[in-house]
Chains A and B, each alone.
Chain A
Amino acid sequence: QSVLTQPPSASGTPGQRVTISCSGSTSNIGSSYVYWYQQLPGAAPKLLIYRNNQRPSGVPERFSGSKSGTSASLAISGLRSEDEADYYCAAWDDSLSVLFGGGTKLTVL
């Protein structure tokens, strides 16, 4: 059981907006930046969002991140079939360990 809680699954149809939540506590998300990673089927994870809401170059503007208190969210707008993947949130905790959420499998219907 992961310390950071994500819904195990999410789904949407092409063009829709989908959000994935990540819930933690004051000792992790509440005192750390949140990061999001995308893992396409059969591939290594890839950085999607860093420092709560920053997009690395090459990541489409359709992906956005936010954080409030001890929770964070990843939003994907204009959903596309190639967005079908597992999404993981991550944060450092007070003991300088990295915590990952359990992952959310996004299905594009």
Chain B
Amino acid sequence: QAQLVQSGSELKKPGASVKVSCKASGYSFTSYAINWVRQAPGQGLEWMGWINTNTGNPTYAQAFTGRFVFSLDTSVSTAYLNILSLKAGDTAVYYCARASGPTYWFDPWGQGTLVTVSS
């Protein structure tokens, strides 16, 4: 069945960058979009945006423009989230989730990647 497996936890210093991976299996990677969702410690879910795995075109939620970059490597069915110039406020669990496209549901989700930003 469809599965998304994310890379492991990261500990970074402020100002550094981090790249989170999301590897898909069990389905045709380019037939579904990949969404990214952030969950700060003890907080709710926040949608970051999505990437069209067919065209590579990313769409960012308003709060995630500038330092957040979505990318793909379709040869290995993997989506990436790159966060630049990390701040303490970026400390969160980041999830990837599959969707058929805009207006569709998220299923499945990756297991999440904890990114901790601390000096």
Contact = CB atoms under 8 A, between A and B. Distances in A.
Main secondary structure, interface of A, reads: strand
Given A44-B95, A45-B109, A98 B44 contact: no
Given A44-B95, A44-B111, A44-B112, A101 B44 contact: yes
Interface string A66-109: 00000000000000000000101010100011111111000000
B105 A50 contact: yes
Contacts of B47: 97-100
A96 to B, nearest CB: 5
Given A44-B109, A44-B111, A45-B109, A96 B103 contact: yes
Contacts of A88: 44-45
B110 A37 contact: no
Nearest to B35: A98
A101 B109 CA distance: 18
Interface of A: 2, 32-33, 35, 37, 39, 44-47, 50-51, 56, 86, 88, 90, 92, 96-103
Interface of B: 35, 37, 44-47, 59, 61-62, 95, 97, 102-103, 105-112
